[in-house]
Amino acid sequence: MKIAALVSGGVDSSVTVHLLKEEGLDPHLFYIKIGLEDEPGFVSCPSEEDIEIVTFLAHKYGLKLDIVSLQEEYWERVVDYTIQSVKNGLTPNPDVMCNKLIKFGSFDDKYGKDFEFISTGHYADVEREGGSLFLKTCKDKRKDQTYFLGQIDRHQLSKLRFPLAGLLKPEVRKIAVDAALPSATRPDSQGICFLGKINYSSFIKRYVGEKEGKIVELETGKILGTHRGFWFHTIGQRKGTGLSGGPWIVVKKNIPENVIYVSNGYDPLPVYRQDIYLTHFQFITDNPLGDDIFLQGEISFKIRHTPEFTRGFLSLEGGLVKIHSETSVHGVAPGQFGVIYDKEGNRCLGSGMISEENNA
């Protein structure tokens, strides 16, 4: 079996290499450079340490290692998407798009096409049932990363292997310790993948700029202060407004007027919603639940990366996919992704981008 293993220097991808070797496989290791090391403000870049670790893995297990750059593709496809989304008042999700467009997109186009499978350290699973193929949640529900994989397509899924699917995070750490892997005690990476150690606000300030606007209390219309630009704020945000006497929650944005509206909890309706509308919805594989899924089909879903699922119903309304949640949901942010699962939360079915339409 010809298999490519994407390695990052972290404990998860390192352990996948160990597990693949235990299966008798010899994966070809690939370290993808997508970080913006030349970006002003990028400090303490971990790439040198990453490369030392993946080089150690290659020597330890006698494997080939290629360090490849997809920085240009990343800038054109993911960073530009992020900047444009912010300018349009949306809340982007670069991690979702990185998986779809770079790790399993550009990488496969350039290198992965020569391999039968691509292995990663994601906490997810692939289920093959007869001629059907499904993205499944993994054993460790707290670490499950299917939310970030909700935009991949059938071809991409068909090539993926997730060796960590049946393991809990502590078990992964123990394997790394027992195998004397240098990443065994390395902290998990945090934050948006392309930013690395870049401060997000500084990055947005450079590429979008600043423009002073009003902070208005939704219920009273009272001007409470000013902000540096609506693009620095997202719906549901509880910190960062600089206002005292909070918590002040960002509940609405007026994009043309550069105004953000906040609430101190007088009326939860602007913050909590039951109806969520998705645009550009796609199933990962063929619709596994049949056409009835759009006739009040019962599902579970997530609108952000959390261990918990919310139950709801799926339907079509006005050309958009509509989720009607059983309970009110906090912080519905246009631009983020609504990811749909079967009602048990076992299979990830697909996703769409949360729309501004019908969310006012």
In a domain, 200, yes or no: no
Residues 156-159: contacts with CB within 8 Å, 24+ apart?
A: 156/100, 156/104, 156/105, 156/108, 157/126, 157/133, 157/284, 157/285, 158/133, 159/104, 159/108, 159/112, 159/115, 159/116, 159/117, 159/118
CA 312, CA 181: separation in Å to the nearest integer?
43
The pLDDT value given to residue 271: 59
Our answer to whether residue 138 is catalytic in this structure is no
Please check whether residues 215 and 234 belong to one and the same domain. yes
Do 43 and 168 lie in one domain? The reply is yes
pTM of the full predicted structure? 0.89
Q: Which two tokens stand for residue 349?
A: 């079915």
Question: What was the pLDDT predicted at 37?
Answer: 62
Cβ atoms < 10 Å from Cβ of 270: 18
**Domain CATH code at residue 300:** 2.40.30.10
pLDDT digits (tens, 9 = 90+) for 112-124: 999 999 999 999 9
Which of helix, strand or coil describes residue 341?
strand
Would you place residue 294 in the very low, low, confident or very high pLDDT band (cuts 50, 70, 90)? low
pLDDT at 44: 43
Asked if residue 212 has pLDDT above 90, the reply is: yes
Q: Is 256 exposed, middle or buried (0-12, 13-18, 19+ CB in 10 A)?
A: exposed
Same domain for 280 and 316: yes
Does residue 203 lie in a domain region? no
In sequence order, which residues have a C-beta less than 8 Å from that of residue 64 and are 6 or more positions away? 28, 29, 58
Residue 248: give its domain's CATH number: 2.30.30.280
340 and 253 in a common domain: no
In a domain, 285, yes or no: yes
* 197 within some domain: no
Q: Which residues have a Cβ under 8 Å from the Cβ of 148 and sit 6 or more positions away?
A: 95, 96, 99, 122, 305
Active-site option among 45, 98, 138, 348: 98
Spell out the residues 6+ positions from residue 204 whose beta carbon is closer than 8 angstroms to its own: 86, 231, 232
Q: Helix H segments across the chain?
A: 11-22, 47-61, 71-74, 80-87, 94-98, 107-110, 154-158, 169-178, 200-208
276: left (phi over 0), alpha (psi -120 to 50) or beta: beta
Residues 316 and 348 in one domain: yes
- C-alpha 337/C-alpha 123 separation (Å) is 19
Question: Would the pLDDT of 344 be above 90?
Answer: yes
Residues 253 and 290 in one domain: no
| Residues 38 and 167 placed together within one structural domain of the fold | yes
Instruction: Give SS3 for 325.
Output: strand
- Average confidence score pLDDT of the chain: 88
Domain check: are 59 and 167 in the same one? yes
Percent above pLDDT 70 for the chain: 88
Nearest Cα to Cα of residue 348 among 174, 165, 126, 191:
126
Peptide bond into 187 cis (omega under 30): no
CA distance 260 to 74: 31
Say whether both 233 and 284 belong to one domain. no
* Same-domain pairing of 92 and 172: yes
Query: What is the b/e burial string over 118-133, where b = at least 16 CB atoms within 10 angstroms of the residue's CB?
Result: bbbbbbbbbeeeeeeb
Tell whether 167 is covered by a domain: yes
Q: 213-266: per-residue pLDDT in tens? A: 999 998 899 999 999 999 999 888 888 899 998 789 898 899 999 999 998 865
The predicted-structure confidence for 140-197, as pLDDT tens digits, reads as follows: 999 999 999 999 999 999 999 999 999 999 999 999 999 999 999 888 765 555 555 5
Q: Is residue 205 part of a domain?
A: no
171 and 46 assigned to the same domain: yes
Q: pLDDT tens digits, residue range 4-62?
A: 999 999 999 999 999 999 999 999 999 998 876 665 554 444 578 889 999 999 999 99
Residues 6+ apart with CB under 8 A from 15: 121, 163, 164, 172, 175, 176, 179, 181
Inside any domain, residue 155: no
What was the pLDDT predicted at 207? 86
Proportion of the chain above pLDDT 90, given as a percent: 64
Nearest CA to 8 among 31, 29, 27?
Answer: 31
Total domains present in the chain: 3
**What residues make up the domain containing 117?**
3-121+163-178
User: What is the H or E stretch that residue 301 is in?
Assistant: strand 295-302
**Catalytic (active site) residue 348:** no
Does 201 map to a domain? Answer: no
Say if residues 124 and 149 touch (Cβ distance below 8 Å). yes
Contacts of 171 (CB under 8 A, 6+ apart): none
277 with 259, same domain: the answer is no
Cα–Cα distance for residue pair 346/338, rounded to 1 Å: 16
